[in-house]
Structure 1
Amino acid sequence: MPFHSLIGSHSYRFDDLRTLLAKATPARSGDYLAGIGAASNEERVAAQWALAEVPLAHFLQEAVIPYEEDEVTRLILDSHDREAFAPVAHFTVGELRNWLLASADSAALAALRPGLTPEMAAAVSKLMRVQDLISVARKCRVTTAFRNRIGLPGRFSTRLQPNHPTDDVAGIAASIIDGLLYGSGDAVIGINPASDNVQAVIRLNHLLEDVIRRFSIPTQGCVLTHVSTTLEAIARGAPVDLCFQSIAGTQAANTGFGIDLALLREAQQATAALGRGTLGNNVMYFETGQGSALSAGAHHGVDQQTLEARAYAVARAFEPLLVNTVVGFIGPEYLYDGKQIARAALEDHFCGKLLGLPMGCDICYTNHAEADQDDMDALLTQFAVAGGSFIMGVPGADDIMLNYQSTSFHDALYIREVLGLRPAPEFERWLLEQGIFDDSGRLVTGESPPPALAAQLKLTGGTA
């Protein structure tokens, strides 16, 4: 079905919904690389005007990737809740935007989640300014639990990311202790292993188990290896808290990752069966990023932001503890500079929260992108104001294994202080007990480790 828009005396035609969504997307290098971005700002505005008039019900009739060809499309349409959709079924995309900004409260947004498709969420985000994305996302409340609770109001969590280029246990342990002493790690202590070797992954899982149990830390660990490796580790008795996997918004891209929905379901069930959570059993950790389907040649001519939203349909089917958009990691071919990275991060957070996901963000860039740490500081502040659930805590903000720039332990301290945010409540109590934080939620500074933690370190010879 074609869509039309008139700007001045110039008439624009968009042949189908897929084309309209692509042309309406704010400028980004990945869509130009794919040859589907708007040719001019005028064409982009024309597409946005046309998109605003599209009825939401149309998204249930025209799939951007055919139902017969793609299991993600089948998941989206087969799981759509028409009863939840009913209150907005008569809206156009533009009317949905107005309702989200002016009328919707947290309860209404929660009730709407199963009635929205990712394409609807992506479409409305394309009509929004940055402040609109922040205002609506801030109203969306999503809470998950394992050994603590993530996403509560007034809370802001961190993933402690102690990566090491050779998976050296002493180096990883030192980074973990460093992060804990800065109050990092309540979302997860998550290691990207240098190797997917099963024995190495099992060893790292035991390291995380040892640290968490020895210091009685109310958090969870995760080794971010391929889901099939995690399943093998579980079969060999490894103490797995969370199962990780990178996911994308098309079946073909997920095939490139070596996964499908059935494998993810098997992994979720195997991890949940271990029963290691104390407050909840959200056991999956997913990472995504705009451009992943395009980089795999699996984008079907769909713009990268819409495909990112479709990845969230995959994620929400498995009730994850954490979902993390690794926004600038793929590189400037997909998000060219700090402005594009920031816009993409806020779109991702908005769409994910609108669809009911516990959204974090790896506020990051590669060294060949047109971005710097000032850009990341600005995005960090915007993301936290928008109600983001968690960020990364990387020693010095420089990941020496993955070779990219992210956020540091100090960045989390900054954002918690300026916005009056605190860690997950269970983790905060532990920080108080250890003498790491004081009663006001501020870091206790001094020349040596806090007494309680120092005593435990002494028992272990100064290491974990």
Structure 2
Amino acid sequence: MNLKTKLFGEVYQFGSVKEVLAKANEEKSGDKLAGIAAENALERIAAKEVLSQLTIADLRNNPVVDYDEDEVTRVIQDAVNEKIYNEVKNWTIADLREYIIGLDTGDLELKRISRGLTSEVIAGVTKLMSTLDLVHTAKKLEITATCNTTIGKKGTLATRLQPNHTTDDIEGIELSLYEGLSYGMGDAVLGLNPVDDSIDSVSRIYTLFDEVKNKWEIPTQTCVLAHVTTVMECIKRGVPVDLVFQSIAGSQKGNEAFGFNDKIIEEAYELALKEGTAFGPNVMYFETGQGSELSSDAHHGADQLVMEARCYGYAKKYNPYLVNTVVGFIGPEYLYNSKQVIRAGLEDHFMGKLTGISMGVDICHTNHMKTDANDLEILATLLGAAEVNYVIGVPGGDDIMLNYQTPSYQDDATLRSLFNRHPIKEFEEWMEKMGLIENGKYTERFGDASIFFGK
């Protein structure tokens, strides 16, 4: 295994596969903060050259966290299809990149090959991709999942309706729900981030969502993004829960910082299948974001892109209906500016799809980042071209509870029009029944929440 190269007369020697992966990453402020980034562009190019000549076996045999030390590593490694792995293990990462890009459509073959790849391999090939590569290759993959409805089919763009409220006021949440529904939002999920993570408060919101869904016969699924243990207790008390949520990390230590381990997720998954209200079989919702492991000192010296890829490898074990990267939420310490946010969003989407999970992106930024609404629209357009499974929608593009910016209901509707994408089929039929669209076109009632109040 060769870990050195010569570039413009200078020899670059790297100490490990982990170091090569870190220094081959595109510039990220989080990697700089961790002290593992390339010192300059030449060292980054040298690391990419070394990475390109490493084999799939080299990356599999050198996980960034040891197998015996970390249950996330064990989940990823144990899931590898050994027959497929043995077919490709001697490919270089450059070979893998050329193979992926060269497939005309490649959906079925890419899905098959991905079963023989670890998360480190998927992260490695991502580091060799250009922006156009990431869009082009992600578009090839159709990854579907079914909760109450099926997400991810070609020609659809689903949305999460996010009616967050600063005090979890039920009337305020309900009004925000109706506004979003009038714009055709919510076919992916009606999903709220609670201020109050108590069982009673979370139960009230789940019950509201269920009542609205049933009253208006809305074909969708519901989720309150509370801690997994809170939602488990809600299910045990008979609260109507479609999807169980948890933020996850790419290491066991990171997940422990989030307050859970694999045994708890396994229990939640089985409970949701047995006692949840969704048809299934996909009943889990996970959120991620580059840099979360660094914030909890759980990155083990690995770069944030590799750790993010490991999130997806872990999530895959539980056949999630939804996974999304909250790409610009953590802050400029991890993704400093719009260039880094845009790159990270495209990387995460590609890695999630190649891993084989239903992948969405929360196209967002906080107010202290060097990013603005125009940058988010650029990323949204690129993800629309890449055929992302779903995006988030909030009133006015400004989440008043989380205090961050993400696309508005109108932005998401525009994306659908721009790329001729439709809501999930059953939800689109519901929109027609409600008079929001006719013959595939928005009507005068589109965006008018008064239709829910008899006006």
Q: Is the contact between residue 183 and residue 437 of structure 1 (CA under 8 Å) also seen in structure 2?
A: no
Aligned residue number for residue 385 of structure 1? 385
The separation in 1 between residues aligned to 2:276 and 2:207, in whole angstroms, is: 17
Equivalent positions of 1:414-433 (< 5 A) are: 414-433=414-433
Amino acid at match of 1:106: D
Equivalent positions of 1:30-41 (< 5 A) are: 30-41=30-41
Structure 1 unaligned runs (5+)? none
After superposition, the CA RMSD in angstroms is: 1.4
Aligned residue number for residue 309 of structure 1? 309
Amino acid at match of 1:103: L
Q: Paired residues, what number?
A: 454
Equivalent positions of 1:188-267 (< 5 A) are: 188-267=189-268
The separation in 2 between residues aligned to 1:59 and 1:50, in whole angstroms, is: 12
Q: CA deviation at 1:134?
A: 0.8
Q: CA deviation at 1:18?
A: 0.6
Distance change (3 Å), C-alpha of 1:448 and 1:10: closer
Aligned residue number for residue 134 of structure 2? 133
The separation in 2 between residues aligned to 1:418 and 1:143, in whole angstroms, is: 22
Q: Is the contact between residue 163 and residue 193 of structure 1 (CA under 8 Å) also seen in structure 2?
A: yes
Q: CA deviation at 1:63?
A: 1.9
The separation in 2 between residues aligned to 1:429 and 1:401, in whole angstroms, is: 32
Amino acid at match of 1:364: C
Render the CA deviation track for 1:412-452: whole Å, top value 9, x for unaligned.
11111111000000100000111011212x321249948xx
The separation in 2 between residues aligned to 1:257 and 1:270, in whole angstroms, is: 20
The separation in 1 between residues aligned to 2:248 and 2:83, in whole angstroms, is: 28
Aligned residue number for residue 445 of structure 1? 444
Q: Is the contact between residue 2 and residue 13 of structure 1 (CA under 8 Å) also seen in structure 2?
A: no
Equivalent positions of 1:368-407 (< 5 A) are: 368-407=368-407
Render the CA deviation track for 1:73-108: whole Å, top value 9, x for unaligned.
111112211112244222100000000001361110
Amino acid at match of 1:311: C
Q: Is the contact between residue 110 and residue 141 of structure 1 (CA under 8 Å) also seen in structure 2?
A: no
Structure 2 unaligned runs (5+)? none
Equivalent positions of 1:26-425 (< 5 A) are: 26-103=26-103, 105-274=106-275, 276-278=277-279, 280-425=280-425
Q: Is the contact between residue 275 and residue 281 of structure 1 (CA under 8 Å) also seen in structure 2?
A: no
The separation in 1 between residues aligned to 2:130 and 2:447, in whole angstroms, is: 46
My pick for the range that moved more, 75-84 or 298-307, is: 75-84
The separation in 2 between residues aligned to 1:413 and 1:129, in whole angstroms, is: 28
The separation in 1 between residues aligned to 2:13 and 2:448, in whole angstroms, is: 65
Render the CA deviation track for 1:115-139: whole Å, top value 9, x for unaligned.
1111001000101100001111111
Question: Secondary structure of the equivalent of 1:68?
Answer: coil
Q: Is the contact between residue 60 and residue 121 of structure 2 (CA under 8 Å) also seen in structure 1?
A: no
Q: CA deviation at 1:274?
A: 2.3
Q: CA deviation at 1:248?
A: 0.5
The separation in 2 between residues aligned to 1:248 and 1:213, in whole angstroms, is: 34
The separation in 2 between residues aligned to 1:295 and 1:218, in whole angstroms, is: 38
The separation in 2 between residues aligned to 1:75 and 1:231, in whole angstroms, is: 22
The separation in 1 between residues aligned to 2:102 and 2:33, in whole angstroms, is: 36
The separation in 2 between residues aligned to 1:88 and 1:443, in whole angstroms, is: 48
Identity over aligned pairs, percent: 44
Render the CA deviation track for 1:353-408: whole Å, top value 9, x for unaligned.
00101100000000000000000000000011111000001000100000001111
My pick for the range that moved more, 231-240 or 268-277, is: 268-277
TM-score for the superposition, normalised by structure 1 = 0.96
Render the CA deviation track for 1:159-201: whole Å, top value 9, x for unaligned.
0000001000111000000000000000000011101111001
Q: Is the contact between residue 364 and residue 404 of structure 2 (CA under 8 Å) also seen in structure 1?
A: yes
Amino acid at match of 1:329: F
Q: CA deviation at 1:8?
A: 1.4
Aligned residue number for residue 8 of structure 2? 8
The separation in 1 between residues aligned to 2:61 and 2:316, in whole angstroms, is: 22
Amino acid at match of 1:176: L
Q: Is the contact between residue 251 and residue 293 of structure 2 (CA under 8 Å) also seen in structure 1?
A: yes
Amino acid at match of 2:443: V
Distance change (3 Å), C-alpha of 1:40 and 1:259: same
Q: CA deviation at 1:114?
A: 1.6
Question: Secondary structure of the equivalent of 1:67?
Answer: coil
Question: Secondary structure of the equivalent of 2:246?
Answer: strand
Amino acid at match of 1:150: I
Render the CA deviation track for 1:3-24: whole Å, top value 9, x for unaligned.
0011011000110011000000
Q: Does 1:457 align with 2:447?
A: no
Q: CA deviation at 1:148?
A: 1.2
Amino acid at match of 1:216: E
Render the CA deviation track for 1:240-259: whole Å, top value 9, x for unaligned.
11000000000000000001
Question: Secondary structure of the equivalent of 2:346?
Answer: helix
Amino acid at match of 2:278: G
The runs of at least 4 aligned residues of structure 1 exceeding 3 Å deviation read 446-450
Q: CA deviation at 1:330?
A: 0.1
The separation in 2 between residues aligned to 1:447 and 1:322, in whole angstroms, is: 26
Q: Is the contact between residue 290 and residue 344 of structure 2 (CA under 8 Å) also seen in structure 1?
A: yes
The separation in 2 between residues aligned to 1:158 and 1:82, in whole angstroms, is: 36
Q: Is the contact between residue 122 and residue 305 of structure 1 (CA under 8 Å) also seen in structure 2?
A: yes
Q: Is the contact between residue 160 and residue 176 of structure 1 (CA under 8 Å) also seen in structure 2?
A: yes
